[in-house]
Amino acid sequence: MFGSKDLTITLDKISNSDGAHYTNYDLITGELSFKTFKQISVKSIIVSLKGNSYTSVTERTYDQEKNQYTSRIISEKHNFLIINQQVFPPPEILAVSTSKKHSIMPGNHVFAFQIQIPLNSNNPFCGEKRRKTEERQHQMQSYMEDNLCNANSNPFTYNHYSDGFNVSWGNSVDHYHDFLLPSSFHDSLSCSDGPVTAYVEYHIKGIVKKARFFSINARAKEPFDFLALPDVSLIDQYQTTSHEIIRNSQFNLKREILPFEEFQQEKSLEILIQNEKEKEKEKEKEKEKEKEKGKKNKFSSIFRDIFLPFNSIRKNYFYIPLALQAKCKVPTLLNRGQKFPITLSVTSNLDPDTFIKNGFGNIYIKKLNIQLLCHTYIRAELKTVSPISYITIFDASNHMKIDLTKLERPFGKNYYEYMIPGEYYDFTVPKYLVASLQSCNVVKKYEILITATFFNYLRGEEEVESVSDSSEAKVSIDVQVINDVVPGIVLNQKCNGNHQQQPQDLQVDNTLPSYNQSIESSSAAI
């Protein structure tokens, strides 16, 4: 019996970076093939390109009767893209026949198809469950406006504000949000109420609609990866009307001020550190000698240890005002597989001559961490959750020396800066990131978080935490992740015609007489 297991869909490869994904304006070509051993009657054979967006959220409520919390999973599925192509019967048959039943003879059948991926979604009724829910909300709103006279309350407006982002889901039952096709992805996240799932998938679906009543149609599905082209208006804005923004994070480094005579004799900070190291060794030797003396000076040593914290408080300190600065263009675009577009520097309001005179010219970056905060807004049946995932795209722990005596003043600025060399944070944006997107029920937005830890100076390879304090600076910037893709060309198109039929291979039974033998036997009988 002919069924879904007999249906096969094969997609042709495309000339892109890996030959495994498609993008906007790509022409998907392939063939739908099946084999039947007897004549079948069908209404039509249709090949469809579909794009679905699925979300599921765990809702947790308190049951007063049972005195416990109960959980249920609510979900939404939106078919935002549907393109159908009828491959059988062909147009030449439909032009001369009005019959709703068409026969397909036994044998192997191959139907070629080609569908172009558009730029935007095309199905205004993609969420039937959402539409019915919104109709109920619309009726509730009308009731409240008529009976309660409260025009300010609008339960149908869905705006979610978090971390500076604004997500709008629409404000009318008849409103259809035409959006750019999102890239395919699959996320399994967690929230306070429970697990959350969101994914976008694309596939080619073939269906053979049978003409007989109560007969099950044969179906087949072939999924594929889709990477969306970046928004053209966004690229134009970046290339023409973009402007540079600066994000600063101020911090202070506290250092002990040594006697003035030592600064006059030795202005080099490295020499001071070496002398300090020798003085500490001498102090350790003196402590060992005191331990050997025994209980003679026990009272004096206890008295000295009691007042030791008070003596350390009396030390004088010098605060160095600094700032971590990040420069980038707006809109800030992170192109997958490309270089990191943000430049980093250390700035100060102090003149570099100040650091030359007092010997405090060197500071060190102990650690530089760059994280990508992914804000995923997920909606299912009017319930919205926004889990945040942290993706570390760069982490460096090697120490880097910054000479503050080499600060330079940018043109037209009232501060001095030291550009951190790009080699220190030389990396490319990972390709596994999902591009920023917005669909009917899923929104993805990104934020860059740059964290740098600074130290005053080093003693060999170890930090001098007893003499100098560390400071941490954080800078955050809203960014958009885009795909570095271009439309491809089909490489191996297998089928050029619309329909190819190969006759079924019949096995000849040697025990039966052939046609010539039958003629001879019949003539002999006459």
pLDDT above 70 for 270: no
Please report whether residue 294 resides in a domain. Answer: no
pTM, 2 dp: 0.72
Cα–Cα dist 189/186, whole Å = 10
Tens of pLDDT, residues 351-395: 888 777 656 678 889 899 999 999 999 998 878 899 999 999 999
DSSP state of 237: I
Tens of pLDDT, residues 90-142: 888 888 877 888 888 888 999 999 999 999 998 766 655 555 555 555 554 55
Q: How far is CA 285 from the centre of its chain?
A: 58
Please report whether residue 301 resides in a domain. Answer: no
Please report whether residue 371 resides in a domain. Answer: yes
Q: How many CB atoms lie within 10 A of CB 5?
A: 10
Cα–Cα dist 349/466, whole Å = 27
Please report whether residue 165 resides in a domain. Answer: yes
| Pairing of β 317-330 and β 243-256 | antiparallel
Higher pLDDT, 62 or 312: 62
Structure tokens at 279: 């003085």
Q: Which residues of 228-244 are buried (b: 16+ CB within 10 A; e: fewer)?
A: bbbbeeeeeebeeeeee
Q: How many domains does the chain have?
A: 3
Q: How many CB atoms lie within 10 A of CB 9?
A: 19
Residue 33 · residue 112 · CB < 8 Å: no
Domain co-membership, 67 together with 92: yes
Tens of pLDDT, residues 222-250: 999 999 999 888 888 888 877 888 999 99
Domain co-membership, 170 together with 246: no
Radius of gyration over every alpha carbon of the chain, rounded to an integer in angstroms: 37
Which residues are bridge partners to 437 per DSSP?
444
Please report whether residue 289 resides in a domain. Answer: no
Instruction: Measure the N-to-C terminal CA separation of the chain; round to a whole number of Å.
Output: 44
pLDDT of residue 150: 35
Average pLDDT over residues 322-328: 93
Whether the bond into 195 is cis, omega within 30 of 0:
no
Residue 277 · residue 459 · CB < 8 Å: yes
Q: Which of 109, 113, 85, 88 is nearest to 500 (CA)?
A: 109
Residue 235 sits at φ, ψ, to 5 deg, of -65, -40
Domain co-membership, 2 together with 117: yes
Structure tokens at 139: 């009726």
Average pLDDT over residues 33-49: 91
Q: How far is CA 5 from CA 30, 37, 46, 270, 272, in A?
A: 18, 14, 17, 77, 81
Tens of pLDDT, residues 457-506: 654 444 444 445 688 999 999 999 999 887 766 665 555 545 665 544 43
Cα–Cα dist 302/395, whole Å = 46
Please report whether residue 491 resides in a domain. Answer: no
3-state DSSP percent of the chain in helix, strand and coil, to 5: 20, 45, 35
Please report whether residue 223 resides in a domain. Answer: yes
Cα–Cα dist 446/120, whole Å = 22
Residue 454 · residue 143 · CB < 8 Å: no
Domain co-membership, 313 together with 379: yes
Q: H-type helices in 151-194, by residue range?
A: none
Residue 318 makes CB contacts below 8 A (sequence gap 6+) with 254, 255, 256, 257, 358, 360
Q: Which of 164, 165, 157, 51 is nearest to 439 (CA)?
A: 51
pLDDT above 50 for 407: yes
Domain co-membership, 326 together with 471: yes
Structure tokens at 375: 């804000």
Q: Which residue has the tokens 């030795």?
A: 266
Tens of pLDDT, residues 77-88: 999 999 999 998
CATH number at 517 reads 2.60.40.640
Higher pLDDT, 342 or 512: 342
Domain co-membership, 209 together with 169: no
Helix H or strand E encompassing 418: strand 416-419
Domain co-membership, 428 together with 371: yes
Q: Which residue has the tokens 């109420």?
A: 193
Residue 16 sits at φ, ψ, to 5 deg, of -125, -165
Domain co-membership, 164 together with 192: no
Structure tokens at 434: 């999902």
Q: Which of 202, 197, 172 is nearest to 186 (CA)?
A: 197
Cα–Cα dist 134/157, whole Å = 10
Q: H-type helices in 29-170, by residue range?
A: 91-96, 128-147
Structure tokens at 358: 């007092």
Average pLDDT over residues 180-189: 94
Higher pLDDT, 126 or 176: 126
Q: How many CB atoms lie within 10 A of CB 61?
A: 10
Residue 248 · residue 506 · CB < 8 Å: no
pLDDT above 60 for 511: no
Domain co-membership, 311 together with 406: yes
Please report whether residue 410 resides in a domain. Answer: yes
Average pLDDT, the chain: 76
Cα–Cα dist 134/112, whole Å = 41
Cα–Cα dist 524/487, whole Å = 72
pLDDT of residue 134: 54
Q: How far is CA 439 from CA 138, 176, 436, in A?
A: 22, 11, 10
Cα–Cα dist 326/363, whole Å = 18
Domain co-membership, 93 together with 195: yes
Domain co-membership, 243 together with 223: no
Domain of residue 147: give its range: 128-175
pLDDT above 80 for 17: no
Domain co-membership, 169 together with 205: no
